[in-house]
């Protein structure tokens, strides 16, 4: 009896010890969060910049997601990825809270009221086609969140898609890209809400640059996060790099004086960032339509020497590419009515980033609509400047050098494919590093006086800085719908009726040039889409059925037989 009591007490003691260990492990797990990311693409590992942004929170950041309700499994995957990301944020800081809300839940009146509220803050629904037994049905979803911090809110679209609807079969790539960019988008919104002061961005004028209404969509996209204004270089003694963090030069068409170039040069030397959007040749579709043919000429910009000094040369040519957008051309007349047809216009290439290009400016971008673009050569510089080619033409491209005549004959017959033999021509280049001054040992007396007025020394080498050169000024220009008197979205092609990724490309470039915290590194994360090879699956159907069904039963039978044999041998 005494032995039985001791055994019982010992068992209870072991049980209590086991439960105590479990409680202790749970306390440690709550106090110290961690996990091991064994995925090849490291999808569950946050970047260091993201961790820093979350740890520096001073008040609660609240994320309200509207991706809630009944929708296909693909969007459930996006929803789960967002929830996992927010849980990671919450594990690092007690200042992170989130909520998932179904905008279409409740009565019809409540749903309409919610949709109206979301529309006011810039959140539009996506029309999703869902496969049913009777065909396809349409459903509205809201793949967006609102991030709130210190009384300020910012809407964030989490679906990477340029069209207002998603057809079956088209959503998987868009969803995969969306999951890849979740961390960057949410962290970037938090970073902007934490910033008390908006950085200033200046768009130049006075050299025939695009008018404000022609860059209105770009300006509006920036104004939510930055102070954006126009400056005329003639109005400034020098451009202060500390005041204006970025200078955008959108399609200049008249000459830059040495005085203006000196201001730009010393702006760069003091760490200023630049986006050059340059048309080397004068070519315009409207002028070509009026005249029937056209000979492009060099714009007298006087910028060749400064760009050469910084490490690039824009060639006096125009790219032709078989991967191009279409324009309407008259192909006949029926009665008194002209008949039009959409034909590829090889001078308007659609540029897609290379699949293996992981640079955050172009990562996961859709095609970008270019018009009469030239090629860019990179030049060796006196100082260390890293040159990154961001965008190139397709495998089937060629160059047409000036002077040469433009007309529409190339669209009226099959193109000579064998002549499109100059693939992968650079059209956008990123420069990073220490730049040499164009005016080293060339400073005139007037230039010295300009520097003396603001008590600024001449710098022959720049502070570490960045600049982007794009050999097409129209990449920033939004179309104007004259019939409806409205400004189209940036990147919208009225002939193709499609919005290309021009805005995303330019906004990513601005983010990268001005990013000092490294948040944009999260754009380089890649979640790979591993699709099932249906053909191979059908061919090997029997094999894998045997492996998954028969083999486990066979192993179980062998184990049972061996166990029975050994048991009889031992106890028989």
Residues 239, 173: one domain? no
Mean pLDDT confidence for 291-309? 90
Max mean pLDDT range (87-96, 174-183, 526-535): 87-96
Parallel/antiparallel/unpaired status of strands 397-401 and 317-321: antiparallel
Residue 474: strand, helix, or coil: helix
Classify residue 405: in a domain, yes or no: yes
Give the containing element (helix H, strand E) for 64: strand 61-65
Work out the pLDDT band at 506, boundaries 50, 70, 90.
very high
Classify residue 531: in a domain, yes or no: no
Classify residue 549: in a domain, yes or no: no
Classify residue 34: in a domain, yes or no: no
Question: How many separate domains does the chain show?
Answer: 2
pLDDT of the residue at 164: 46
The mean-pLDDT minimum among 280-294, 336-350, 459-473, 525-539 falls in 525-539
pLDDT of the residue at 165: 45
Task: Report the alpha-carbon distance of residue 513 to residue 274 in Å, rounded.
Answer: 8
Query: Which of the listed residues 153, 170, 194 is the one where a domain comes to its end?
Result: 194
* Contact criterion met (CB below 8 Å) for 162 and 124: no
Q: Is the pLDDT at 166 greater than 70, yes or no?
A: no
**Backbone φ and ψ of 512, nearest 5°:** -70, -45
Q: Is the pLDDT at 174 greater than 70, yes or no?
A: yes
Residues 449, 505: one domain? yes
Classify residue 524: in a domain, yes or no: no
pLDDT of the residue at 167: 47
- State which residues form the domain around 448: 200-516
**Prediction pTM value:** 0.79
Q: At what angle do helices 48-55 and 73-92 cross, to 10 degrees?
A: 60
More confident residue, 290 or 310: 310
Three-state SS letters, 463-487 = CCEEEEEECCHHHHCCCEECCCCEE
User: What is residue 436's DSSP assignment?
Assistant: B
**Backbone φ and ψ of 66, nearest 5°:** -105, 10
User: What is residue 281's DSSP assignment?
Assistant: E
Q: Which of 274, 223, 222 is nearest to 250 (CA)?
A: 274
Give the containing element (helix H, strand E) for 388: strand 385-392
* Contact criterion met (CB below 8 Å) for 141 and 126: yes
Tell me how crowded residue 384 is: count the other CB atoms within 10 A of its CB.
Answer: 10
Residues 181, 251: one domain? no
Residues 427, 506: one domain? yes
* Contact criterion met (CB below 8 Å) for 140 and 164: no
The distance of Cα 546 from the centroid of its chain, to the nearest Å, equals 45
Residue 375: strand, helix, or coil: coil
Task: Report the alpha-carbon distance of residue 68 to residue 565 in Å, rounded.
Answer: 57
| Residue 271 Ramachandran class (φ > 0 left, ψ -120 to 50 alpha, else beta) | left
Mean pLDDT confidence for 322-344? 81
Classify residue 8: in a domain, yes or no: no
pLDDT of the residue at 548: 83
Cα torsion through 52, 55, 57, 60, rounded to 10 = 130
The distance of Cα 218 from the centroid of its chain, to the nearest Å, equals 15
Residues 205, 295: one domain? yes
Query: Which of the listed residues 162, 178, 194 is the one where a domain comes to its end?
Result: 194
Residues 165, 210: one domain? no
Give every CB contact of residue 57 below 8 A, 6+ residues apart in sequence.
93, 95, 96, 149, 190, 194
The mean-pLDDT minimum among 147-151, 196-200, 237-241, 505-509 falls in 196-200
User: What is residue 550's DSSP assignment?
Assistant: I
The CATH code of the domain that includes 77 is 3.40.30
pLDDT of the residue at 30: 59
Residues 62, 129: one domain? yes
Residues 289, 360: one domain? yes
Classify residue 18: in a domain, yes or no: no
What is the maximum alpha-carbon separation in the chain?
Answer: 115
**Backbone φ and ψ of 244, nearest 5°:** -105, 110
**What b/e sequence results for 398-410 when a residue is b if at least 16 CB atoms lie within 10 Å of its CB, and e otherwise?**
bebebeeebeeeb
Task: Report the alpha-carbon distance of residue 24 to residue 32 in Å, rounded.
Answer: 12
First to last CA, the chain: 33
Task: Report the alpha-carbon distance of residue 569 to residue 318 in Å, rounded.
Answer: 88
Q: Which of 193, 85, 104, 94 is nearest to 147 (CA)?
A: 193
Three-state SS letters, 209-236 = CCCHHHCHHHHHHHHCCCEEEEEEHHHC
Q: Which of 382, 383, 392 is nearest to 430 (CA)?
A: 392
Q: Which of 179, 199, 192 is nearest to 147 (CA)?
A: 192
Q: Which of 253, 439, 421, 399 is nearest to 319 (CA)?
A: 399
Residues 338, 408: one domain? yes
Mean pLDDT confidence for 75-82? 87
Parallel/antiparallel/unpaired status of strands 273-277 and 244-250: parallel
Residues 183, 282: one domain? no
Query: Which of the listed residues 149, 167, 194 is the one where a domain comes to its end?
Result: 194
Residues 214, 269: one domain? yes
Residues 451, 486: one domain? yes
Average confidence score pLDDT of the chain: 85
Residue-wise DSSP of 237-275: SS--TTTEEEEEEE---SPPPHHHHHHHHHHHHTT-EEE
Parallel/antiparallel/unpaired status of strands 126-132 and 165-166: parallel
* Contact criterion met (CB below 8 Å) for 349 and 368: no
User: What is residue 408's DSSP assignment?
Assistant: S
The CATH code of the domain that includes 511 is 3.40.50
Task: Report the alpha-carbon distance of residue 492 to residue 510 in Å, rounded.
Answer: 20
Q: Is the pLDDT at 434 greater than 80, yes or no?
A: yes
Q: Is the pLDDT at 1 greater than 60, yes or no?
A: no
More confident residue, 448 or 407: 448
Token pair 């129209």 in the structure block, residue: 474
Q: Is the pLDDT at 546 greater than 90, yes or no?
A: no
**Backbone φ and ψ of 12, nearest 5°:** -65, -40
Mean pLDDT confidence for 125-142? 70
Work out the pLDDT band at 337, boundaries 50, 70, 90.
confident
Give 18-58 pLDDT, tens digit per residue.
788 877 777 766 555 555 554 555 556 788 888 888 998 88
More confident residue, 522 or 306: 306
Beta-bridged to residue 127, according to DSSP, are 140, 165
Work out the pLDDT band at 533, boundaries 50, 70, 90.
low
Task: Report the alpha-carbon distance of residue 169 to residue 392 in Å, rounded.
Answer: 28
Classify residue 542: in a domain, yes or no: no
């Amino acid at each position: 009896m005494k032995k039985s009591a001791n055994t019982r007490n010992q068992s209870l003691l072991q049980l209590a010890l086991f439960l105590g260990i479990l409680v202790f492990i749970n306390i440690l797990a709550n106090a110290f969060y961690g996990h091991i990311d064994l995925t090849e693409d490291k999808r569950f590992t946050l970047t260091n910049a993201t961790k820093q942004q979350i740890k520096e929170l001073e008040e609660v950041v609240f994320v309200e997601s509207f991706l809630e309700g009944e929708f296909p499994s693909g969007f459930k995957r996006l929803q789960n990825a967002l929830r996992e990301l927010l849980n990671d944020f919450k594990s690092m800081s007690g200042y992170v809270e989130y909520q998932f809300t179904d905008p279409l839940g409740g009565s019809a009146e409540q749903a309409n009221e919610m949709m109206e509220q979301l529309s006011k803050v810039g959140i539009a629904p996506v029309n999703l086609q869902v496969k049913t037994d009777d065909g396809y049905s349409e459903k509205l979803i809201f793949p967006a969140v609102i991030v709130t911090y210190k009384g300020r809110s910012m809407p964030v679209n989490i679906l990477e898609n340029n069209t207002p609807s998603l057809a079956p079969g088209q959503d998987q790539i868009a969803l995969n890209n969306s999951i890849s960019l979740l961390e960057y988008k949410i962290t970037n919104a938090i970073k902007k809400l934490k910033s008390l002061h908006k950085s200033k961005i200046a768009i130049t004028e006075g050299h025939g640059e695009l008018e404000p209404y022609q860059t209105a969509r770009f300006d509006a996209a920036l104004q939510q996060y930055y102070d954006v204004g126009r400056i005329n270089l003639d109005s400034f003694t020098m451009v202060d790099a500390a005041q204006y963090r970025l200078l955008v030069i959108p399609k200049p068409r008249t000459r830059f004086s040495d005085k203006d170039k000196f201001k730009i040069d010393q702006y760069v030397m003091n760490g200023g960032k630049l986006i050059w959007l340059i048309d080397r040749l004068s070519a315009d579709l409207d002028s070509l339509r009026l005249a029937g043919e056209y000979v492009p000429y060099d714009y007298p910009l006087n910028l060749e020497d400064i760009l050469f000094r910084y490490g690039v040369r824009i060639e006096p040519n125009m790219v032709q590419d078989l991967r191009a957008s279409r324009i309407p051309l008259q192909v006949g007349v029926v009665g008194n009515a002209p008949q039009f047809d959409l034909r590829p216009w090889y001078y308007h290439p659609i540029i897609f980033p290379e699949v293996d290009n992981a640079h955050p400016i172009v990562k996961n971008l859709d095609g970008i609509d270019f018009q009469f673009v030239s090629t860019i050569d990179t030049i060796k510089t006196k100082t260390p400047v890293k040159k990154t080619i961001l965008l190139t033409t397709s495998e089937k491209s060629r160059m047409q050098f000036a002077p040469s005549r433009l007309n529409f004959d190339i669209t009226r017959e099959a193109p000579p494919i064998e002549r499109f033999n100059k693939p992968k021509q650079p059209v956008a280049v990123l420069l990073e590093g220490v730049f040499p001054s164009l005016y080293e040992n060339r400073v005139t007396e007037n230039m010295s006086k300009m520097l003396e007025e603001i008590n600024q020394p001449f710098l022959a080498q720049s502070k570490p800085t960045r600049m982007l050169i794009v050999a097409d000024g129209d990449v920033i220009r939004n179309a104007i719908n004259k019939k409806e008197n409205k400004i189209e979205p940036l990147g919208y092609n009225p002939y193709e009726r499609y919005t290309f990724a021009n805005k995303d490309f330019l906004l990513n470039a601005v983010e990268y040039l001005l990013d000092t915290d490294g948040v944009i590194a999260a754009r380089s994360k890649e979640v790979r889409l591993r699709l099932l090879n249906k053909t191979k699956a059908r061919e090997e159907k029997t094999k894998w059925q045997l492996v998954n069904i028969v083999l486990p039963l066979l192993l179980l039978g062998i184990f049972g037989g061996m166990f029975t044999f050994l048991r009889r041998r031992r106890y028989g």
